[in-house]
Amino acid sequence: MTSPGPKTFTEHAYLFFKGVGMGTADIVPGVSGGTIAFITGIYEALLTAIASINSRLVLQVLRLNLKQALAGLHLRFLVTLVCGIALAVISTSHLMHYLLTEHAVQTWSVFFGLITASILVVAHSINKRFTSFPALILGAILAYGITGLIPLYTPEEPWFIFFSGMIAICAMILPGLSGSFILLILGKYAFITAALRNPVNPDNLETILIFITGCLVGILGFSRILRYGLARWHDYTLALLTGIMLGSMRKVWPWKITLESQIIRGKEHVLREENVWPLLDFEFGIALLLMLTGF
């Protein structure tokens, strides 16, 4: 018995490049890897492959019944896809870290436009819009309040890196909801992309491994809860997610002023900031154009 997945070189190549597309999307806040999987026709196969990692597989491995375990595991599919995702994430993280550091307003403007478009995409998938509207309002209020409470400088301890990976990966598999957007809300987007820039560094490698472990736990655990919610309460779940994205937009508003900062481990970290209205100048025009480009 052979495990499900691509069999020919051409099938492997197609799946690999679809993984590259997903990885590129996942590193950009507002663009969902799940959306790319949906567009390229592998979304259902992805969910099935994830579901193949279950308690039955673990029992077969513990009993050393590896032949049956591999037969049920979509190993070829997962390895090929993950390799494509990993290549894109590592190669793109350099560019994203540079843009956020050197061209913050312009980069946040593109993100703002992308996330606005994602909100409309998810909202368009809601069928019973009137009855599910309260869920949208609830999600928006909760997200707006929580993003205001989350400190700009969040812990760099292993437990929080693990938690960030666990939550971000759940967003990745949902079309329209971006894992990178979740990392932005948690204040860990720049931290993770900085680690990916030099993965051979011992400290960075430790961070990446902890993050990946969190991703594995999230995709095997909480992602099943989300899938159950989408299957049983599709419109209410999507409305809640739409509201969460809408309320979280305060986090990605491009124009901010720093109210309080602190030097931590030799680097300046913003502890408190405030959204402000931009000056109607040339820079605003460029930022507005970039928003429309992202949209």
12 C-beta neighbours (distance < 10 Å), count:
19
Could you tell me if 59 and 113 lie in one domain?
Answer: no
Domains identified in the chain, total number = 2
The phi, psi pair for 257, rounded to 5°, reads -125, 145
287 C-beta neighbours (distance < 10 Å), count:
22
pTM of the model: 0.67
User: Does residue 29 sit within a domain?
Assistant: yes
Could you tell me if 250 and 111 lie in one domain?
Answer: yes
Could you tell me if 126 and 260 lie in one domain?
Answer: yes
Could you tell me if 124 and 83 lie in one domain?
Answer: no
- Of the residues 64, 90, 116, which one is the last residue of a structural domain? 90
User: Does residue 224 sit within a domain?
Assistant: yes
Token pair belonging to 289: 């154009």
Phi-psi region of 191 (alpha: psi -120 to 50; beta: other; left: phi over 0): alpha
Percent of the chain with pLDDT over 70: 86
**DSSP 8-class letter at 279:** P
User: Does residue 42 sit within a domain?
Assistant: yes
User: Does residue 191 sit within a domain?
Assistant: yes
pLDDT at 154 over 80: no
Could you tell me if 86 and 110 lie in one domain?
Answer: no
Cβ atoms of residues 65 and 1 within 8 Å: no
Token pair belonging to 258: 């720093």
pLDDT range class, residue 113, cuts 50, 70, 90: confident
Could you tell me if 177 and 264 lie in one domain?
Answer: yes
Q: Between 195 and 154, whose confidence is greater?
A: 195
- Of the residues 44, 64, 90, which one is the last residue of a structural domain? 90
User: Does residue 23 sit within a domain?
Assistant: yes
The phi, psi pair for 126, rounded to 5°, reads -80, 125
pLDDT at 121 over 90: no
User: Does residue 97 sit within a domain?
Assistant: no
Q: What is the pLDDT of residue 102?
A: 82
pLDDT range class, residue 272, cuts 50, 70, 90: low
Strand 267-275 relative to strand 256-264: parallel, antiparallel, unpaired? Answer: antiparallel
Could you tell me if 141 and 247 lie in one domain?
Answer: yes
9 C-beta neighbours (distance < 10 Å), count:
8
pLDDT at 265 over 60: no
What is the arithmetic mean of pLDDT over 166-182? 76
Per-residue pLDDT reduced to its tens digit, 180-200 = 778 877 888 888 888 888 888
pLDDT range class, residue 295, cuts 50, 70, 90: low
Average pLDDT of the chain, as a whole number = 79
Could you tell me if 109 and 53 lie in one domain?
Answer: no
Distance CA(248)–CA(184), nearest Å, equals: 10
6-10, 63-67, 150-154, range with the lowest pLDDT: 150-154
Could you tell me if 79 and 41 lie in one domain?
Answer: yes
124 C-beta neighbours (distance < 10 Å), count:
12
User: Does residue 96 sit within a domain?
Assistant: no
Per-residue pLDDT reduced to its tens digit, 219-244 = 877 767 766 777 788 888 888 878 87
End-to-end Cα separation, the chain, in angstroms: 47
Could you tell me if 9 and 107 lie in one domain?
Answer: no
Give the domain range for residue 33: 1-90
pLDDT at 275 over 70: yes
Distance CA(190)–CA(154), nearest Å, equals: 12
Could you tell me if 111 and 202 lie in one domain?
Answer: yes
Helix (H, G, I), strand (E, B) or coil at 260: strand
Per-residue pLDDT reduced to its tens digit, 55-111 = 777 777 777 777 777 777 788 888 999 999 989 888 887 787 788 778 878 888 887
Distance CA(89)–CA(265), nearest Å, equals: 27
Q: Name the one residue in this structure whose structure tokens are 């969902």.
A: 32
User: Does residue 95 sit within a domain?
Assistant: no
Cβ atoms of residues 17 and 81 within 8 Å: no
14-23, 30-39, 113-122, 246-255, range with the lowest pLDDT: 30-39
Could you tell me if 148 and 68 lie in one domain?
Answer: no
Per-residue pLDDT reduced to its tens digit, 16-52 = 999 998 888 778 766 677 777 877 778 778 878 887 7
- Of the residues 90, 113, 139, which one is the last residue of a structural domain? 90
Q: What is the pLDDT of residue 161?
A: 94
